[in-house]
Amino acid sequence: MLKAFSGGTFSRDFTASIVVFLVAMPLCMGIAIASGVPPEKGLITGIIGGLVVGLLAGSPLQVSGPAAGLAVIVFEIVREQGLSALGPILILAGAIQIVAGLLKVGGWFRAISPAVVHGMLAGIGVLIVVGQFHVLFDDKPLSSGLHNLIAMPGQILGLTNQDAATAFAVGLVTIGAMLGWEKFRPASMKLVPGALVGVVAATLVAFALGLPVARVVVPESILSAISLPEQGLLAQLMSPTIITTAIAIAFIASAETLLSAAAVDRMHDGVRTNYNRELSAQGVGNLLCGVAGALPMTGVIVRSSANVQAGAKTRLSAILHGAWILGFVALLPWLLREVPMAALAGILVVTGFRLVSLSHVKHLFHLYGPLPAIVWAATLICVVATDLLTGVLVGIGLSLIELIPHASRLRLGVEEASRGDAHEVALHGTASFLSLPKLSAKLESVPAGQLVILNVERLTHIDHTCAEMVREWADRRTGAGAKVELFGATGRMRQLVA
């Protein structure tokens, strides 16, 4: 931690923390509203994610806070079980994450097929778009994604209602300003986030014209937004419904966090993520969010990538961004009350649309054939048509099909040898997601800077989950100036791991 205050890094962390704060503020409030809870609940999660998780995190440059990926499941919890159930669920989910980190199961979350994860995110993106589309008209989302989708034409036809048309116009101003800024902003202002520009533009228009649109409601004091657990907490924690939901939240939040951490590692050459420490830190954060009655948190790729791009070097940036949120909410709550609800909906519509990454499924199809693309599509459809957990389980089940032809020989052998200035890693057997933690640990332990010879002459099969991990590992090493050579690959194998 002392390194964070050294002269060489403090100024860069300080500047980056302001950028992340500006990105996080509108997203914290927008995700809370998409989750069916007051906006201050998201702000509290952002504060805890910065001040507490930022200090404990195993991924120093990752930024934690409320995530769009959990908005859908939280909305369902609040609608079916009530807001009071969210606290006990998060307390239990946080405890599960802490124990999982201490038991060193963090690496196993990386073994989830990327097709499943991106299918899940795409499904969440669709649900956010069709739900927040209604908020663009100052209306409320309906009870399910399919109902929201079916009702979308009716909103367009209802534009004869002047208030709805006004709110929709404010939302379009937000989206237009956000996208226009991101496309045409000058290089000297590249760190100013588009989401902030969109919210400021819409707020100024609504204020200057005195438009009759719904605005964000925040309390005078952030302390009044904290709702401690009620009596009977122990009985709630023993409820089968609470336990099942907590396991689902812990699983999905952990997967999203650790995949985000892996993505952040690809963006910089600094300290690598300690996945087990990161998992336990997220558990502490979610437990505290449960005690405070706030939203669940994950590591968030949007804020984390902004942090890296802004030049952050240590965890101080993430910690400070939490302090800026706290200071802003404590000192300027009146300013937040001028923000139109339709403006936050506009930001989330863009965010949700970007979660549906067709480029990723094209990449999977091109390299690994139709099965990963089918897994992606099935996960997306099930998330939209049923629920998040069902979609993920269906995706994981379908990804097992890839192992059926190799079910009798799933063992992976890894041998290492030093050959002068080179380090050889020889693989034999089957490299599947079941052996990914073992293989990942071996590859990450290879000394930095050395030539690595990856010998796959005796590797009989590698699934797309392992192949993607190996590809990312090789890209990181070559990006850092080291060399990776592939030996013994022929035909399809060369295409998979080259």
Q: What is the pLDDT of residues 405-454, one digit of tens each?
A: 777 778 899 998 887 788 999 999 999 888 888 898 888 888 877 899 99
Residue 429: what are its φ and ψ, rounded to 5°? 105, -145
Distances (CA, A) of 88 to 20, 47, 343: 30, 20, 32
| Residue 175 pLDDT level (bands cut at 50, 70, 90) | very high
Most confident range, picked from 134-143, 162-171, 354-363, 364-373: 162-171
The predicted model gives 157-164 an average pLDDT of: 80
The predicted pLDDT at position 157 comes to 80
Tokens coding 82: 């009530």
- Assign domain 412-497 to its CATH architecture: 2-Layer Sandwich (3.30)
Neighbouring-strand partners of residue 485: 453
- Tell me the C-alpha distance between 290 and 85, whole Å: 9
E strands, 379-471, where?
Answer: 412-419, 422-431, 451-462
The predicted model gives 371-387 an average pLDDT of: 90
Output 158 or 62, whichever has higher pLDDT. 62
Q: Would you say 454 and 419 are in contact if contact means Cβ atoms under 8 Å apart?
A: no
β-pairing verdict for 484-487 and 451-462: parallel
The predicted pLDDT at position 7 comes to 52
> Comparing 181-185, 332-336, 357-361, 374-378, which segment has the lowest mean pLDDT?
357-361
Per-residue burial over 462-471, b = 16 or more CB atoms within 10 Å of its CB, e = otherwise:
bbbbbbbbbe
Number of Cα atoms under 13 Å in the Cβ half of residue 72? 29
- Tell me the C-alpha distance between 204 and 207, whole Å: 5
Chain mean pLDDT for the chain: 88
Tokens coding 263: 């993505």
- Tell me the C-alpha distance between 470 and 464, whole Å: 10
- Tell me the C-alpha distance between 116 and 118, whole Å: 6
The predicted pLDDT at position 491 comes to 61
The closest alpha carbon to 321, from 68, 3, 31, 65, belongs to: 65
The predicted model gives 301-325 an average pLDDT of: 90
pTM of the model: 0.80
| Residue 244 pLDDT level (bands cut at 50, 70, 90) | very high
The 10s digit of each residue's pLDDT in 207-240 is 999 999 999 988 888 888 888 888 888 888 999 9
For the chain, where do the domains classified as CATH 3.30.750.24 start and end? 412-497
| Residue 276 pLDDT level (bands cut at 50, 70, 90) | very high
Distances (CA, A) of 224 to 38, 41, 48, 231, 333: 12, 11, 16, 19, 12
> Where do the H-state alpha helices sit in 35-136?
39-48, 54-56, 68-81, 86-102, 114-135
The predicted pLDDT at position 261 comes to 86
The 10s digit of each residue's pLDDT in 86-96 is 999 999 999 99
- Is the pLDDT at 18 greater than 70? The verdict is yes
